[in-house]
Amino acid sequence: MKRNIKLFIRYDGTRYYGWEHQPTEPMTIQGKLEEVVRRMLGLPEGEIPLIIGAGRTDAGVHAQEMVANFHAETDLSEEEILAYLNRYLPEDIGVDRAVFASERFHARYNAKGKHYRYRCWCGVNKPVFERKYMTVLQDDVDLEKMQSAAALLVGTHDFKGFCANPRMKKSTVRTVDEITIRRKKEELRFDFHGNGFLQNMVRILVGTLLEVGCGRMDEERIRKILEEGDRRIAGPTALPQGLCLIRVDY
């Protein structure tokens, strides 16, 4: 029976070269999933099933809930698919749910919004057990300054200046409807929600806001980046390990 199978996936991206297939890099989340699904369906080695992800997380970035789908001829139940995938996937990739979706469901095209979280460590001691999921800050930061600067970024803007791809041919206009920055003890947490994000956009936003928090940039620079769309005047791209895709909205 022809099925459209929807997966809810979580993964530790530490040792992977991102979600998407890379011509010279076998260690990708998509590649690992497709290989296990191929074996589950009994397909020959050269016949790779296409698994469509809701987005393309970068190398070293994690996901709490990535959504993906693939079409397949199978009589396996949802429970059997889930059990097989979790049995044969590496320990750092897990499938929380496998459900039969409508024929027209598309993990990427049907996505309405995404929630990303970036975590930093501001403590004196090392975050030994969280080191793979946080970025350790060397400088103290001003929370109120960052919150004020973040407010300038909320809304519909051309985020070209916050995109790592200078040759982007498609529109770089996106809507970011929420940015929250909170500090609880030693942890500094940035949460972003929007209808979509450009290549490295969240990490560049974090890097820029941290520059504001450290006093090396001000709100006028934020306005200038938005107006001129010049990546060179934005902040550095924050390290990947602090970033996690939390949820995809449909």
User: Nearest Cα to 183, choosing from 222, 140, 149?
Assistant: 140
Q: Is the confidence at residue 14, as pLDDT, over 80?
A: yes
Report the pLDDT value the prediction gives residue 104, as an integer from 0 to 100. 96
- Chain-centre distance of CA 179, in angstroms? 15
Both 133 and 210 in a single domain? yes
Both 147 and 233 in a single domain? yes
Q: Could you give the CA distance from residue 78 to residue 72 in angstroms, rounded to a whole number?
A: 13
Of the listed 58, 92, 158, 218, which one is catalytic? 58
Summarised one tens digit per residue, pLDDT across range 91-105 is 999 999 999 999 999
Higher pLDDT, 46 or 205: 205
58 is catalytic: yes
Both 153 and 88 in a single domain? no
For 60-64, 117-121, 125-129, 208-212, which range has the lowest pLDDT when averaged over its residues? 125-129
Residue 172 pLDDT grade (very low, low, confident, very high; cuts 50, 70, 90): very high
Dihedrals phi, psi of 228, to nearest 5 degrees: -95, -20
Structural domain including 186 reads: 113-249
CATH number for the domain that contains residue 151: 3.30.70.660
Question: In this structure, is residue 107 part of a structural domain?
Answer: no
Q: Is the confidence at residue 146, as pLDDT, over 90?
A: yes
Mean pLDDT of the chain: 95
Q: Is the confidence at residue 167, as pLDDT, over 90?
A: no
Both 46 and 81 in a single domain? yes
Contact 164, 200 (CB under 8 A): yes
Question: In this structure, is residue 183 part of a structural domain?
Answer: yes
User: Nearest Cα to 203, choosing from 115, 122, 116?
Assistant: 116
Contact 214, 196 (CB under 8 A): no
Both 96 and 130 in a single domain? no
Q: What is the DSSP string of 119-167?
A: EEE--SS--TTTTTS-EE-SS---HHHHHHHHHHH-EEEE-GGG-S-TT
Q: For residue 187, with 0-12 CB atoms within 10 Å meaning exposed, 13-18 middle and 19 or more buried, which class applies?
A: middle
Q: Is the confidence at residue 243, as pLDDT, over 80?
A: yes
**Using alpha carbons only, what angle is made at residue 7 by residues 241 and 4, rounded to the nearest 5 degrees?**
145
Both 28 and 94 in a single domain? yes
Q: Is the confidence at residue 23, as pLDDT, over 80?
A: no
Q: Could you give the CA distance from residue 75 to residue 16 in angstroms, rounded to a whole number?
A: 31
Report the pLDDT value the prediction gives residue 53, as an integer from 0 to 100. 97
Q: Is the confidence at residue 25, as pLDDT, over 80?
A: no
- Domain count across the chain: 2
Q: What are the helix and strand counts (H, E) for the chain?
A: 5, 10
Q: Is the confidence at residue 166, as pLDDT, over 90?
A: no
Both 139 and 214 in a single domain? yes
CATH number for the domain that contains residue 15: 3.30.70.580
- 40: tokens are 């589950």
Both 94 and 130 in a single domain? no
Report the pLDDT value the prediction gives residue 168, as an integer from 0 to 100. 80
Mean pLDDT of 116-143: 92
For tokens 């809930």, the residue is 65
Q: Is the confidence at residue 169, as pLDDT, over 90?
A: no
Q: Could you give the CA distance from residue 196 to residue 198 in angstroms, rounded to a whole number?
A: 7
Residue 138 pLDDT grade (very low, low, confident, very high; cuts 50, 70, 90): confident
Both 166 and 137 in a single domain? yes
Report the pLDDT value the prediction gives residue 120, as an integer from 0 to 100. 97
Summarised one tens digit per residue, pLDDT across range 174-200 is 999 999 999 999 999 999 999 999 999
Q: Could you give the CA distance from residue 213 to residue 219 in angstroms, rounded to a whole number?
A: 11
Q: Give how far Cα 127 sits from Cα of 123, 131, 132, 161, Å.
A: 8, 5, 9, 32
Both 15 and 46 in a single domain? yes
